[in-house]
Amino acid sequence: MHVIVAEKNISARRIAQILAGGKHVTEKKEGGVSTYTFGNTMTIGLRGHVVEVDFEPGYQNWRSEQYTPRSLIDAKTIKVPTEKKIVSLLQKLAKQAERVTIATDFDTEGELIGKEAFDLIRAVNKDVPVDRARFSAITPQEINSAFLRTTGIDFALASAGEARQSIDLMWGASLTRLISLAARRGGQNILSVGRVQTPTLAMIVDREKEIESFVPEKYWQLGLLTRKGDELLETRHANGRFRDKAAAEQARDRTKEPLVVTEVKEGTKADRSPSPFDTTSFIVAAARLGFPAANAMRIAEDLYMNGYISYPRTDNTVYPATLDLDGILQALRRSVFGRDVEWVIANRRPVPTRGKKFSTDHPPIHPTAPATRDALGDNAFALYELVVRRFLATLAPDAQWKTLKILFDAGGEEYTATGGILLVPGWHAVYPFSEAKETLLPAVSVGERLPIRSVTLEEKETQPPARYTQSRLIQRMEELGLGTKSTRHEVLAKLVSRKYVEGNPMRPTLVGRVVTESLEQHADTITKPGMTQALEDHMQQIKESKRTREDVVRESRQMLHAAFDQLEAHERAIGDDILGRTAEELNLGTCPVCGTGTLAIKHMRGQTQFIGCSRYPECTFNIGLPVTQWGWAVRTDEVCKKHHLNSVRLVRKGARPWDIGCPLCHHISSNRESLLEIPSLTPALLATLETRHIYTAADIARSQPEWLATALDLPLDRVAGLVREAEAEIALLKKRSECRKFLRNHLAPRRGRSYATVLKVLKEAGISDIPALARADPAVLKRAGISEEEAKSVIGEARESDAIKSFKKIGIPAPSIKKYHAAGVSSPEDFCTYHPLVLSEKSGVSPDTVYRHADLVCRYLNRPSPKKMTRLQLEKSKKELLTIRGITEPMIIPLLQAGVVGAAGLLDADAQALAAGSGIPVQKIAEIQASVRRKKESSVIQI
Ligand SMILES: [Zn+2]
Ligand SMILES: [Zn+2]
């Protein structure tokens, strides 16, 4: 069998379909991993890297005396499978294979992934021939020709990838551990340091410092408004910016009519078609459409994997001669871009444009197959369209602008106006993503005199340099040789998730800044791009087999040891510096309750976070926050005007941040609704409470009544009433929160249906606890957007949970409750419809225990407890009772339950009491008693 190993499952499937050439492909799943077979060939997809480099066991312990952060530099590494199912299936297939072809992505990372697969195969099969197929697009043409001309694995290229992998691990792990331990940080709070990450962060921090130290300078701009016919025309003073206010004012004062046209300069300007996309220019263009870098790359990779565009990780901006440009145009002709394609074919430039970067690995990003919006969805189609249109633009003619410059004289002061008209639209006709703004000027001739409508002098300020946007930073990283086309966007995403930077354009957070500044001060090699640039050169040398991996890694080790020498000498200072300056990042301001402590965000073990006072336990004021699952709480720069506290924001990877705002405003508003439910709390009283720092029902319940009476200026009995009402409210809130939790656990999330709205609708219908939910009408739930099916299940679950709770309250232990439940008993009332002996049989709980439980339940329900009897007695009574006319099977148990043992017992019983105990109407009981009496009398006569 011929086994083909692709980089991902989706590419394995496409490669099989293409190579099968119309023959049937069979998909088979083994342990969750798919394979695709046709004839004697099978493809299998990896999940990128299926093994990972890690340190030998022992190094995982951060506090180990033996394995210090520095020891990580020289630690031995091992490869650990991360995708065990794929690894084991790959090895199983490798044992039977007659030939293996590695068909992973064609770049350093792909070569390394292929080499990892090769090592796994060789471990189980020493002899099978292994070759390598290389392609830049998953299209029939590329794939077929790649498999006709397979080569060997490029071990030098893979080696370069391995070198980067081990160097990144060694730098990242050892430095992160050293700095985090020094600053006494662990768990979710570690301070990550990385070979590419840290110099990138330093660029963002440095830019922020430039902005802060920027001193704006004032300047003045002089403008003049005139008119030709109906058209208004704005002109500027030829001097541009005036640095000197007096000079600007003089120029303004000298400006006088007549305004005379002194010169009209006409010209043309060529506007060259853009060059083909490489990864960076693609990211920049996608950012203009609103796609963050990491997002754009993820979508581009999907488009590649599905055969719509070529490989999106490329540094090349020159189409190779072998690329079939005509073929691509022909294919796109049948797409929605058909008309634009026809236009390009008709107006095609003699040679396509070319950029400055040229490499031979991959062509620039270009479309490989037509696609529709329906097939791709809006986002993917937007980026696909961008790639298609860019491709068309590179083949379209240059645009031509007609430029016009008019010079004026007004009392000796010179003014100008410039305009431009797109004479030949050229590539702009097919590429609407770059602005082509036209400015029309009225036709004037030299010597013409125009009126002055107004003269304006504007005072302006010079602006600080702009913060980096993601796409700008990626461009800058490329210029500095930081990271690779495949990793740059990931590095930025990492800086955000580590909470080192926020926003786009990016700003450093306090932690990001403190860590960078501390490292800059003590070991600046880590924060400068030089070391990383050197590694890129070394990688190139490994690729060209001029140096070995071991050699490069050894040199990197030496550099890292040197950095450690510097860092360890100042370890204490760095740690204290970071610790001292970052504690501040959690402080929100003075505690409003005690007035002396500081309110700060506290992160506890697990998911808990809240805001508390530094004077705890003397001051117990605190504000609850949502668990960290909803976002990690951080301070923002915004300060509440009323409470002078910094705002709080919850940040979560891959989600929009959740702005809590001023924590006290949030605290007050989130408790207002429940406070207003307290009957005797008027809005006026509520306002008074707020000034006394009473914000919640619990605050009221906890207060000393005497103190509260004075604070609110109320008689003590009214305060006592208020406290009682607050306690009732707290109980209600607790029930509601249980109900909310219950719904979250039992109602699957659905798009367009938030739990908040569901709860609101239910609350309006009077359903705010689980017992009410158990009795709810499914129609009400439907109004809350819950389907009939879901309502049935939720109500069922509520009943069960309600029953479990009442059984627990009654004193029945959980294991028995479970058994009863399995026997069909779902409420205490249900319990009484069964005779204890019957229930014992059904549930497997011993008769004695059931009797004991029945006693408890009946007492709880205020019903007579069933009399104890043996199984034999039970059967006998049943038989006897059934012989009586009027008694039917369903009445037996209630009667037994009510204490009737046989016919005699029935006669003795008081009809009223028996009716109450059994639930059988008193009329019916009287009838039965009469029938028993008749039978008895007739039998007496017979004797
Ligand atoms: Zn306090
Ligand atoms: Zn506030």
β-bridge partners, 409: 260, 414
Retrieve residue 206's tokens: 């440095």
Residues 472-527 pLDDT 10s: 898 888 888 888 777 888 899 889 888 899 888 899 988 899 999 988 888 788 88
Contact 242, 251 (CB under 8 A): yes
Which region holds residue 483: left if phi is over 0, alpha if psi is between -120 and 50, else beta? left
Residues 441-478 pLDDT 10s: 888 889 999 999 999 999 999 999 999 998 889 888 88
Q: How far is CA 433 from CA 289, 346, 363, 389, 418, in A?
A: 8, 22, 22, 9, 24
Residues 847-905 pLDDT 10s: 888 888 888 888 888 877 777 777 777 778 778 888 877 787 778 777 776 767 677 77
Residues 261-295 pLDDT 10s: 999 999 999 999 999 999 989 999 998 998 988 88
pTM score, whole prediction = 0.62
Contact 686, 673 (CB under 8 A): no
Span from the CA of 697 to the centroid of ligand 1 (angstroms): 19
Residues 384-415 pLDDT 10s: 999 999 999 999 999 999 999 999 999 899 99
Please give the average per-residue pLDDT across 6-20, as a whole number.
93
Contact 771, 739 (CB under 8 A): no
Q: Report the distance separating Cα 851 and Cα 849, nearest Å.
A: 5
Q: How far is CA 301 from CA 157, 328, 361, 894, in A?
A: 22, 19, 17, 70
CA 372, 373, 379, 385 torsion: positive or negative?
positive
Span from the CA of 737 to the centroid of ligand 2 (angstroms): 25
The answer for residues whose C-beta is within 8 angstroms of residue 764's C-beta and 6 or more apart is none
Span from the CA of 594 to the centroid of ligand 1 (angstroms): 4
**Range list of H helices, 149-196:** 155-182
Retrieve residue 458's tokens: 């504007």
Span from the CA of 669 to the centroid of ligand 2 (angstroms): 10
Q: Report the distance separating Cα 82 and Cα 113, nearest Å.
A: 13
Span from the CA of 871 to the centroid of ligand 2 (angstroms): 71
| Residue in this structure with the two tokens 């805001």, named with its chain if needed | 611
The rounded percent of the chain whose pLDDT value lies above 70 is 98
Q: Which ligand is the nearest neighbour of the Cα of 592?
A: 1
Span from the CA of 710 to the centroid of ligand 1 (angstroms): 21
Q: Which ligand is the nearest neighbour of the Cα of 623?
A: 1
Q: Report the distance separating Cα 282 and Cα 432, nearest Å.
A: 15
Please give the average per-residue pLDDT across 691-699, as a whole number.
90
Please give the average per-residue pLDDT across 600-615, as a whole number.
85
> Is residue 38 over pLDDT 80?
yes
Contact 597, 619 (CB under 8 A): yes
Average pLDDT over the chain, rounded to an integer:
88
Cα dihedral: 883, 887, 892, 894 (round 10)? -150
Q: Which ligand is the nearest neighbour of the Cα of 639?
A: 2
β-bridge partners, 130: 100
Retrieve residue 807's tokens: 């059984």
Examine the residue annotation and report whether 431 is marked as an active-site residue of this protein. no
Q: Which ligand is the nearest neighbour of the Cα of 619?
A: 1
Residues 746-788 pLDDT 10s: 888 777 777 888 888 888 888 888 888 888 888 888 888 888 8
Q: Report the distance separating Cα 701 and Cα 940, nearest Å.
A: 73
Retrieve residue 136's tokens: 């830049």
Span from the CA of 640 to the centroid of ligand 2 (angstroms): 5
Contact 651, 631 (CB under 8 A): yes
Higher per-residue confidence, 664 vs 682: 664
Residues 579-604 pLDDT 10s: 877 777 788 999 998 989 999 998 77
- By the 10 Å C-beta count (0-12 exposed, 13-18 middle, 19+ buried), 585 is classed as middle
Retrieve residue 846's tokens: 């011993």
Q: Which ligand is the nearest neighbour of the Cα of 669?
A: 2
Span from the CA of 632 to the centroid of ligand 1 (angstroms): 23
Q: What value does the CA radius of gyration of the chain take, rounded to a whole number of Å?
A: 40
Active-site residue (options: 67, 311, 431, 468): 311
